[in-house]
Structure 1
Amino acid sequence: MMLGQPPELFHRTALGRMYLGDSLEVMNARKPATVSLVMTSPPFALTRKKDYGNEQEDDYLQWFRSFAEQFHRILKDDGSLVIDLGGAWKPGMPVRSLYHFKLLIMLCEEYGFHLAQEFYWWNPSKLPTPAEWVNVRRIRVKDGVNTVWWLSKTPWPRASNRRVLQPYSDSMRTLLRDGYKPMLRPSGHDISNKFSIDNGAAIPPNLIAIPNTESNSGYLRYCKQIGIKAHPARFPAALPEYFVRMLTDPGDLVLDPFAGSCVTGEVAERLGRKWVCVDTVEPYLRGARGRFEGMKEPTEPRASKKVGSAYYRIPHPGLLWNRHPGHDEEPLPEDGGRRRATSPDLRLSRRHASSEVGAVNDLTSR
């Protein structure tokens, strides 16, 4: 599609709409403060030009400014902007580009966003790149992590980590079973009675481990069936699902302005969120239609194994999803957690909670 033409409504479902065209025009047509979550993976500032379109590093910040303005305008005051952004290398040199850090600073200092938290998506199956520095000269290690920035218009966006709990580690299960030997921490706090509490699951870290191997097999089969090329840079559905669960309620609106094959839209539809996805490449959206044909279950299998080495294992973030529906149905706090809750779930003071975390770290590091 030629840019400058009005966006075309390409596909619609009960909850969402898919547009072919310029996402800036789609966002500009929206009323202010109507979107709960912008979840997207914009083109990275890569050295080599890609088929799906990417800006060079020197032009990237200027190119992104128009999007930053619209993101801030259409987001609700308690909404969130989540950007999956991969790193890049300086052309011809084994040193990293700083473009994504510059983008973060620009978004916060010039457009008024707050960095709620940074996440790191570790893809264990990622190929070792750049080959020259990693495989040939052997002077750098495999770049297996993408930075995922979680930004917000206020310091208190609506969120709940109860939506993304993970299974307890083997060490923690042993601790719950056998109990904790009474002792004082170096700080002088007695936490012996805190480790007998089984809350059912653990609060996850900000390192998200999701292999991106056969994560879109249903989508790939559909593309092959209709004879089109699949989008070459898809993220696994579990990545947007993590943030859609944590940052939105059913019925909220999720928008992806660089939708590609509409993974975000598929996730939002399945979780009962409204959605808008936009892309400029018609074949990508033709393939994306296959995600919504008779959709009942996720098109990618849930990971059932831990990811990692013998030294440190990180559970797939989706292991507990759909097992405790009450956590998903409980509304997000309207004040974004500004007021401290007094529910029975919060049994520890901040000081004791810090001590508890320290004790768990001691155990798991042995």
Structure 2
Amino acid sequence: MAKPKIYKSKLGMLIEGNSIELLELDKEVAELKGKVNLIITSPPFPLNNKKQYGNEKGEEYLNWFIKLAPIFSDLLTEDGSLVIEIGNAWEPERPVQSLLHLECLFGLVKNPKSDLRLIQEFICYNPSKLPSPAQWVTVNRLRTVDSYTHVWWLAKNDFPKADNGKVLRPYSKSMQQLLKKQKYNAGKRPSEHHISEKGFLTDHGGSISHNFFEMEQIDGNREVRLPHSVLSFSNTASNDYFLTTCRKKKVVPHPARMSGGLVNFFTNFLTDEGDLVMDPFSGSNTTGYCAEKLKRKWVSFEVKHDYVKQAIIRFSEPDLNSPLTKLKA
């Protein structure tokens, strides 16, 4: 097997090549086993139509996905986590939602060659997603818009490294007032919960985050309280450095970029500075970019050279001051 091309920044490296083949066969890459604190990725979705970023379909996708379980399990530290974002699938030429994504999840946690379990599921809602599946939403108008993705948090044991105190949301205005007054109506509620007199009077710096990510505001009259650590840049943001530079260079950005807000949330939630973060299907390498900014070491893989070039654009951001440089053979 030919040696892969490697690009390095101050804290990480981007490897150009097929991640699964390299993780199984390349001796240097194999040294990562047992050292990765967080694998966070958005693998190619199980779509019915082929996309330019590459994706399997149907049974082939399921078999490919299940084979990832032992590879990822071997890479993780004992307290490490695996976070996967995946969209819904639909049956070919039918207005029927497929169970393929669920079969993929079951395949991960039931694979006898690994020891993964689902810690928690998150939902990522993005109202800017184009209407899909188009045939059944905009043409025949039989279904509603598929506007969310699943985010699965898995691990090798029941207690992976995690601290929700690092991803707190700002307090609501009513909670801020309560903390200021240091008094509220305690006692028994209709739900039969008993609220103590001082249970809500301690200022913890914010409220515990929810497992629902609102990538854009649903209700314009309601305040959205994102965790302090989340950089809120969605795939529709047109004013950040990466997209601006792509436009100038007439480069078409990767069509399925992972949200930097998601990456930041889980990186802060599940790792510490200096930990190792990996993305085996990195595209334009949002994961590596976020890890670099958050002072984590990182390793990313991308098989398509056009997307590697986009990652180089992302890392050329002057404020980052950590360009991706190709290592000489």
- TM-score by length of structure 2 reads 0.83
Aligned equivalent of 1:150: 153
Task: Look up the SS of the partner of 2:103 in the other structure.
Answer: helix
Q: How far apart are the structure 2 equivalents of 1:72 and 1:190?
A: 42
Shift of 1:216: 7.3
Q: RMSD between aligned alpha carbons?
A: 2.0
Q: How far apart are the structure 2 equivalents of 1:42 and 1:195?
A: 41
Aligned equivalent of 2:35: 34
Aligned equivalent of 1:184: 188
Aligned equivalent of 2:89: 88
Amino acid at match of 1:128: P
Q: Deviations over 1:202-232 (max 9, x none)?
A: 0011001124311673212223344433211
Aligned equivalent of 2:326: none
Aligned equivalent of 1:257: 280
Shift of 1:87: 0.7
- Between the two proteins, what is the percent identity of the paired residues? 42
Aligned residues of 2:169 and 2:206 also touching (Cα < 8 A):
yes
Q: How far apart are the structure 2 equivalents of 1:229 and 1:269?
A: 24
Q: Label 1:235 to 1:157 Cα distance change in 2 as closer, same or farther (>3 A).
A: same
Aligned residues of 2:241 and 2:317 also touching (Cα < 8 A):
no
Which of 201, 208, 212 is equivalent to 2:213?
208
Instruction: Verify: 1:193 aligned to 2:198, yes or no.
Output: yes
Aligned residues of 2:66 and 2:104 also touching (Cα < 8 A):
no
Aligned residues of 2:42 and 2:281 also touching (Cα < 8 A):
yes
Aligned residues of 2:282 and 2:300 also touching (Cα < 8 A):
yes
Q: How far apart are the structure 2 equivalents of 1:38 and 1:215?
A: 28
Q: Label 1:133 to 1:284 Cα distance change in 2 as closer, same or farther (>3 A).
A: same
Q: Label 1:191 to 1:5 Cα distance change in 2 as closer, same or farther (>3 A).
A: same
Q: Deviations over 1:111-154 (max 9, x none)?
A: 32011111111112222212232234433222111000000011
Aligned runs of 1:115-154 on 2, under 5 Å? 115-154=118-157
Shift of 1:295: 4.4
Q: Label 1:188 to 1:70 Cα distance change in 2 as closer, same or farther (>3 A).
A: closer
Shift of 1:80: 0.5
Aligned residues of 1:7 and 1:25 also touching (Cα < 8 A):
no
Shifted more, 191-200 versus 72-81: the winner is 191-200
Q: How far apart are the structure 1 equivalents of 2:52 and 2:87?
A: 17
Q: How far apart are the structure 1 equivalents of 2:80 and 2:93?
A: 40
Shifted more, 224-233 versus 144-153: the winner is 224-233
Q: How far apart are the structure 1 equivalents of 2:171 and 2:238?
A: 25
Q: Deviations over 1:259-290 (max 9, x none)?
A: 10000000000111011111111011111112
Q: How far apart are the structure 1 equivalents of 2:254 and 2:101?
A: 23
Q: How far apart are the structure 1 equivalents of 2:139 and 2:294?
A: 45
Which of 18, 23, 28 is equivalent to 2:14?
18
Q: How far apart are the structure 2 equivalents of 1:53 and 1:216?
A: 28
Q: How far apart are the structure 2 equivalents of 1:120 and 1:98?
A: 17
Work out the number of aligned pairs and report it: 294
Q: Label 1:190 to 1:255 Cα distance change in 2 as closer, same or farther (>3 A).
A: closer
Q: Label 1:72 to 1:146 Cα distance change in 2 as closer, same or farther (>3 A).
A: same
Shifted more, 135-144 versus 199-208: the winner is 135-144
Aligned equivalent of 1:301: none
Shift of 1:39: 0.6
Aligned equivalent of 1:102: 103
Task: Look up the SS of the partner of 1:118 in the other structure.
Answer: strand
Amino acid at match of 1:218: Y
Shifted more, 263-272 versus 226-235: the winner is 226-235
Aligned equivalent of 2:166: 163
Q: How far apart are the structure 1 equivalents of 2:49 and 2:131?
A: 16
Q: How far apart are the structure 1 equivalents of 2:200 and 2:247?
A: 52
Amino acid at match of 2:47: L
Task: Look up the SS of the partner of 1:181 in the other structure.
Answer: coil
Aligned equivalent of 2:4: 7
Aligned equivalent of 1:354: none
Task: Look up the SS of the partner of 2:80 in the other structure.
Answer: strand
Q: How far apart are the structure 2 equivalents of 1:58 and 1:87?
A: 15
Q: Which runs of 5+ in 2 are unaligned?
A: 217-233, 322-329
